[in-house]
Structures are given as C-alpha cells and as structure tokens.
Amino acid sequence: MRGLERKDFILLAFVTAIALLAPIILNPFPADSPLAQFNAGYPDLMQRFAIYGIFAVGFNILFGLTGYLSFGHAAFLGIGSYAAVWMFKLLTMNVLPAVLLSVLLSGAFALIIGFISLRRSGIYFSILTLAFAQMSYALAYSVLTPITNGETGLQLSLNDPRVLDPVNTSGSLPFPSLFGIKMNAVAEIEALGRVYQFPAGYYFCAVIFLIAFYLSMRIFRSPFGLMLRAVKTNQTRMAYTGLNPRPYTLAAFVISGMYAGLAGGLLAAMDPLAGAERMQWTASGEVVLMTILGGVGTLLGPILGAGFIKYFENIFSKINDNVLHQWFSFLPDGMEDFVVTILHPFVGKGWHLTLGVLFMLVVIFLPGGLIEGFQRIGRLFRRRPKAGKDDPEHHPKPAPHVAE
Amino acid sequence: MGILEIKNVSKSFGGLKALNDVNLSVQENTVHAIIGPNGAGKSTLLNCLVGKLIPDTGSVTFEGKSLLGRKPFEINQLGVSRVFQTPEIFGDLTVLENVMIPCFAKRDGVFRMHALETVLREAEIREKAESVLSDMGMADKLHMHSASLSRGDKRRLEMAMCLAQEPKLLLLDEPTAGMARADTNRTIDLLKDIQASRNITMVIIEHDMHVVFSLAERITVMAQGTPIVEDVPENIKGHPKVQEAYLGGAH
C-alpha cells in the first residue's frame, strides 16, 4: 500500500481518522455542562494541534533519527511565517504560494545554518543552533525592521500590492483563502447538545499534516532513515563503512527545517501576522519538550506531545479560582478553600507548573515518552511472551538522546 | 609490487617516535600478520592505513593509489575494511540492519538520499545481507537488537559487516582479543574460510601466537616503531632478533 508495511498503514489510517474527525472527538462534553471548558474542538486550538504536530514531526526527523538536538528550530518557524505574510502582501491571499515560499525559504536558511552548526556535535551543536536562532530573533526584532516590521510584527495592510488578486474595494483587510474558501470559514452543526465546528482552515492544516506525517513515515522506513539512525548509533563505524555522515545529517537538518517552515507558514495562513517572538528560544524549547514528552524517535510520539502541550497551554490556563470553587462546592467550606488553595498554583497561569511536573514524571518513569506509557498499558492486556526469551544479562543500553 | 605498499612511514606523538621509518609490502591474497610487544607501533601503523592518523613522512599506497590525505570513508570506498579491537557496531539497530548498511554503502557510495524507498523491500540488499550473516552462522539472530549480542557475536557481526562490502583488503585489529579458546578456534576457521572463498588480502595484528601461526602466510615483527624481521612463519619462531624483542635481549 503505497510503500507502507501493514502496521504502518494501520497507523496512518488511525491518524487520518482522528485528524478528520477531530472536531467531533475533541468535543465530548455538551455545551451546557461544567466540563464544557475541557472541549478542545474549536478552530484555533485544532489548527494549533495540526500545525505544531507538523513542527514536532519534522523536528523528530532530526532529533529522533540522528540524535542531533537543535535548540534553534523556532528560527525556521519564524522565517516561514514572515515568508508567508510577505507572499500575502505582495502576491496573493491564496495560501498555497505562501506556504510554498515558507518551505523553500526556511529550507535555504536551514542549509546555511546546518552547514555551519553540523561541524560540531553534541552540546556544541545545540549551542550553535541556539545562537543562530537568537541571532535571527534579534535581527527580526530590530535590525531588519524594514522586512519584519520589528516589535509590532508584520501585518497586512490595505495598500499592499497583491498583484494577482483583484483590487480590494471592500475597505476591510482580506483573509487568506484557498481558491475562494476563506481560512476562517466555519461550518457549524448543532447536534446532541453540542455545537460541532468544522473549520476550513483546520481541514487545510490537517490535510497538510497528514501528508507531512506520511512523508516522515516513509523517511523513517527508508534506507535514508536507516542511515540517519546509523549516525545516531555509531559515527565511527559509519565512517569505516564508507559513508560520510555529514551530508546525511545536513539533509535531515534541512528536511526538518522545511517542516518547521511549513508549520510557520501555516500559522501565518491561519492568522496573517508574524512577530519576532515566534523565533524566541522558548519556542525552540517547546518543540524539544513536545518531542521528548511524546517519545523521541517514534512516529506517533511527537504528535502526541504537541497535542498534550497545546492542550495544556490553552485549556489548563483557562481554569481559574472561580471554576475551582464551582467544582469543589460540594465540600464543606473550610475544606473547599483548602483544596482550592492547594490546586491554585497548578492551574490558570500556573499551567507551566503542571506541565513541568508531568514532564519530570515522564522523563523519570517513562524515558520513552508518553508513547511508551501507552505501549506498557497495551502490553498488560496482551498475552505475555514465553519466559526465557528475555536474557537479563544482555539488556541493551538505552540509546542516548543526544549524539555523542 | 604488493597490493599495499608502506614506504618510509614515520609518526611521532610529541617526543615519542611511534613509527620510525616503516617499510612494508603486503602481497595480494595473502594473510600478513604484524606482531610485536606492546608499544611496538602496530596500532599506530593500522591507524595510518585507514586515514585516522596521517604519517609525518613517507607514503602509503593501495593498488597504486596514495591513501594519504584521504578520509576514512574514502579509503573504505577504495576497498579497505577494518575490524576493531572492541567491536564497532550499530548498537541500536538489529543485526540484519547492521549488515544492510554496508550493503547500501557498497551499492550507493558515500552519500545518496533514498528517502522514499522501504528498507525491508530492497530484496537484493536484504538477500545479500542475509547470506553474509548465514555464512557467519548468525542466521538465527537476524532480528536481534545488536547491542544485546554476546561479545563474540558482536565480533562476528562486525566481520559480517566488513565482508558485506566485499573489501579487497581487510585489516583486523586483534580479532580474538578476550575470546575463549573455543571461540578463538572458531574465528580462525572462519577467517581461513573467508580467505579461501573470497580472495581477500588480510592484515592481522595479534598477540595470540596460536592465531598468528595458524593463519599467517607472512609475518612482520615490529619493535619500537620499526619492523625488525619479516619472513614466513617457520623462520620466525626461532629467530634470534624476535626472541630479543620479546624477551628483552637474551644474553
């Protein structure tokens, strides 16, 4: 089936089903129930799931396969966004050329940054990529103001040329679209006490996400992917096998840079503005967290991690003290205040704390990420393999996350 | 004119002269052993052959081509493979994948991006890897994680990886170090088979005289960075200079 083994085909079908049905699956609670705020099925968040999924899947091609930990991938996210917004300003509001330029431009930048950074490995590589990303951030924030519009961020305006589009006489800003379908168009269906929203923008992102995921799957199973895993395991043996690790790592770096650029372009397509803060080191760190939280080097892990972090960021941060009081109103007064005080630092603005605790638990107890947790649960339900197959003397050393 | 010619090679580390004017010629399709006490410069010489070290002076030519200044992967692509003292394998990958990598390297060269093919569907490569592994007696371990192999199996895997490349010259750095006698004998038989069936020139560095005298057709004895004697095995055993080098001078 298009070059996929049975197992992978099932995985792809599973991910496709989830992606296409997300507006329904992510809306499990009726609109009037107190749990409705846990629903994630609204356009903005679903788009983030898909876009950051692409970002993390691409990052995983570099980090998961070759073990090179880049701390500067947000630079490509930002470059992608700027490229897309410029395309909207100069050429047309159609999202396809914008996204295409995002991918190409970030690929070109990745080639330059990768060529220099990949002269070193391990922590030095990470520091070099971080330095490049911070440099890009600083440039975008100040020096390159004519191109990036500095701290205000790059926005559309009414007197942009947009040479391919008909003259805009409406007096309001146009919105990115795909051959006439506006990216912010939403079809709403009311059923079962819930309002299901099917946003055009989300489906555009989802389709691109599925293509990106399929490609990453092919790369994982290809001879190229095998060579990348060889880079991670033993570069000495690779050199003495007649292979040059450098072009392999550079290719992986450029591919993952292009994925990041694609994600950046889509962010701009969903909301046509680009700011320098998108390149900040926190954004680079976020994708590292996503990948490690979900499971480095696994196909599904990074997507899971991206979903988790974006869910926390958008849902947990909305829980405030009033909501907590509502939940625990059944407790006696003193108890209620006590419980709310205990939980207070973990919700609302404190969602980072919850995420931090979760991250620590995962790294300590599930070094393979959340995906390992699911695999363990799955194994509990499956028949145990025959005893004696596992040789306790010869347990392989777990692979290091960072190339040594 | 041998397949490998080493002429006037010297190498110093700071004040230490590790190699001092080494001249050595290895004939095609022979097993050439290099022996000598610790610190004689055997490993340094080997590192000069594979591109890990660059000699200070002298020349190294393989099939008439100079090896100096070439990177390890370039030298390997010319047909020189190396087995390490401690096995260098791809520990994260399965045994089969370990051997498929050199098969791809043989087919595709230093770098090629096959991003949309499927590894396990490369039937030709897979068959080749499987046949090399079954020659090595590892057909039952194809899908084992290679880091979980025993030390002897890791060595055999490394040898399989080198053979999968069909090298012209195989360099072996103490291929039986740390092995039990039974394993050592198995390795000797294996190397004999390989030599007989594949026409590979071998250079072996070894401390175990049992291995050296069972395999080598020619032996070079090194001491203090210089080859002192080169001869056929029968003449080496009783050679006074060899005894002097090993026993610190028989007075």
pLDDT tens-digit map of A311-341:
988 888 888 777 777 777 787 878 888 888 8
The pLDDT assigned to B26 comes to 92
A182-212 pLDDT per residue, tens:
888 888 888 877 888 899 999 999 999 999 9
The CA distance from B146 to the nearest CA of chain A, in Å, is 8
More confident residue, B250 or B16: B16
In 3D, which of B120, B131, B203, B124 has the Cα closest to residue B163? B131
Asked if B92 lies within 8 A of A240 by C-beta distance, the reply is: no
Position A1 confidence tier, pLDDT thresholds 50, 70, 90: low
Taken in order of first residue, the domains within chain A and their CATH numbers are 6-281 (1.10.3470)
Mean of pLDDT over chain B: 87
Cα A367 from chain centroid?
20
Query: Does the pLDDT value for residue B160 go beyond 60?
Result: yes
Q: Given an 8 Å threshold on Cβ–Cβ distance, is A218 in contact with B118?
A: yes
Q: How confident is the model at residue A388 (pLDDT cuts 50, 70, 90)?
A: very low
Dihedral of alpha carbons A211, A216, A219, A220, sign? negative
pLDDT at position B251 is 47
Of the candidate ranges A47-51, A264-268, A388-392, B224-228, the one whose mean pLDDT is the lowest: A388-392
Q: What is the ipTM of this complex?
A: 0.89
Which residue from B minimizes the CA distance to A215? B116
- Closest by alpha carbon to B63, among B52, B49, B46? B49
Instruction: Tell me the average pLDDT of chain A.
Output: 87
Residue B170 in contact with partner chain A when CB distance is under 8 A: no
The owner of tokens 């046509």 is: A272
**pLDDT single digits (tens) A341-356:** 888 888 878 888 888 8
Question: What's the mean pLDDT in B110-135?
Answer: 87
Does residue A401 sit at the B interface (CB-CB below 8 Å)? no
- Give CA–CA dist B80/A331, Å, rounded: 77
pLDDT reading at A357 higher than 60? yes
Across the interface, do B81 and A230 touch by the CB < 8 Å criterion? no
CB contact under 8 Å between A5 and B120, yes or no, is: yes
Domains and CATH numbers, chain B: 4-79+167-247 (3.40.50.300), 90-150 (no CATH)
Ranges A19-23, A169-173, B112-116, B163-167: which has the least confidence: A169-173
Location of structure tokens 């190699």: B19
Give the residue on A whose Cα is nearest the Cα of B71.
A239
Q: Tokens for A189?
A: 């269906």
Mean pLDDT computed over B116-136: 87
Q: Is B126 on the interface with A (CB under 8 A)?
A: no
Beta-ladder partners of B34: B205, B220
How far out from the chain centre does Cα B157 lie?
14
Question: CA-to-CA distance for B47 and A53, rounded, in angstroms?
Answer: 46
- Name the DSSP class of B178: T
Average pLDDT over residues B173-187: 84
What pLDDT score does A63 carry?
Answer: 95
Tell me, what's the pLDDT at A50? 95
pLDDT digits (tens, 9 = 90+) for A89-135: 898 889 999 999 999 999 999 999 999 999 998 999 999 999 999 99
How far apart (Å, rounded) are the C-alpha atoms in residues A53 and A352? 20
Q: Do B101 and A395 touch (CB under 8 A)?
A: no
- Counting residues of chain A whose pLDDT is more than 70, the rounded percentage is 94
Q: Which two tokens stand for residue A92?
A: 């047309």
pLDDT of residue A237: 93
Whether pLDDT at B38 is above 90: no
**Residue-level pLDDT at A392:** 44
Encode pLDDT of A219-241 as tens digits.
Answer: 999 999 999 999 999 999 999 99
Task: From chain A, pick out residues whose CB is under 8 angstroms from the CB of B76.
Answer: 239-242
Tell me whether B114 touches chain A (CB under 8 Å). Answer: yes
- Mutation site, B77, B80, B88, interface A, largest A CB count within 10 A: B88
Judge contact between B219 and B212, C-beta under 8 A.
Answer: yes
Coil, strand or helix at B59: strand
Count of Cβ atoms closer than 10 Å to residue A31 Cβ: 12
